[in-house]
Amino acid sequence: MSHQLPDVQAGEPDVTVGLSQVGVTGVEKLVELEGEERPYVLTAEFSVFVDLPSGRKGIDMSRNMEVIDEVLEDAVAGETDRVEDLCGEAAERLLAKHEYTTTAEVNMEAEWVLREETPASGRPTQGTVDIIASATATEEGTEEEIGCRVTGMTVCPCSQGMSESRARETLTDLGVDDETAEAFLDQVPQPGHSQRGHATLTVTQDTKPDVDLMELIDIARDSMSARIYNMAKRPDEDHMTYAAHANAKFVEDCVRSLARGVVESYPDLEEDAVVHMKQENDESIHQHDAVAEREVSMATLRDELSG
């Protein structure tokens, strides 16, 4: 004889306080995306949340896992090429399955391996970037986010400026005339303390963000002093070192470069699109790190850069 199990989650809690987010994190899944030449398989980590009203004890947690599995299976069968659409579809299904909730949120991060060539020797190599995608669904509609986190190299302009002053004084002491000294310093960037930097760039819209992920990756990589590569022969090391020191940037400058890159690359992007830009530098001569960040609408960003 079977008996019906009680729906404990549907009961009223002892303390009737609503919760803004209840769900699961660290859900690892394989995601297959259609590419121009071949499919891309990502190992992605999902976080899934819904809100909970004050009169309900808990959510139906298994539904979160079911939705992720359903959406991924449908995506593979339907040849999906945008991870933000996966998140959007999952968020909308969560909203439909949890009849008591008003907001559903899905976040995803995945490491993506890029094939490229080293900058000087032209050797084939691979690099990695982090893909960031999310979606929030409500009765008013679904908001989707897509972007990336990339690693590069920065050089401190302040440290470099002090080295340049010392070099100028030394050249003068050695009897080098001012014109020749300045010509030398223009051609040979002086040392400054360098660090590995991490640029984050995402775009969020009420509809599918009208941006290309690879373009966002390029904007982010070019926002720092220089790109870096896993494979590096001596000519490549020289190329990266020279390029970085010829383009010294503060952490703040990197965020400004992200802003300029987005505005220049997307003149037709909707004005209410929200751009999130962040630069984090692993400081080499300090025990602390440097961070700069901005989240802003495209309308405001365009106004600021046109002024």
What does the pLDDT look like over 68-88, one tens digit per residue? 788 777 765 655 678 999 899
pTM value is 0.90
Tell me: pLDDT of 161 over 80. yes
SS (H, E, C) the chain: CCCCCCCHHHCCCCCCCCEEEEEEEEEEEEEEECCCCCCEEEEEEEEEEEEECCCCCCCCHHHHHHHHHHHHHHHHHHCCCCHHHHHHHHHHHHHHHCCCCCCEEEEEEEEEEEEEECCCCCCEEEEEEEEEEEEEEECCEEEEEEEEEEEEEEECHHHHHHHHHHHHHHHHHCCCCHHHHHHHHHHCCCCCCEEEEEEEEEEEECCCCCCCHHHHHHHHHHCCCEECCCCCCHHHHHHHHHHHHCCCCCHHHHHHHHHHHHHHHCCCCCCCCEEEEEEEEECCCCCCCEEEEEEEEHHHHHHHHHC
Is residue 181 scored above 60 in pLDDT?
A: yes
Write down all domains in the chain, each with its CATH number in brackets: 11-156+193-306 (3.10.270.10)
For residue range 106-140, list pLDDT tens digits in order: 999 999 999 999 999 999 999 999 999 999 999 99
pLDDT surpassing 80 at residue 258: yes
Residue 5: pLDDT band with limits 50, 70, 90: very low
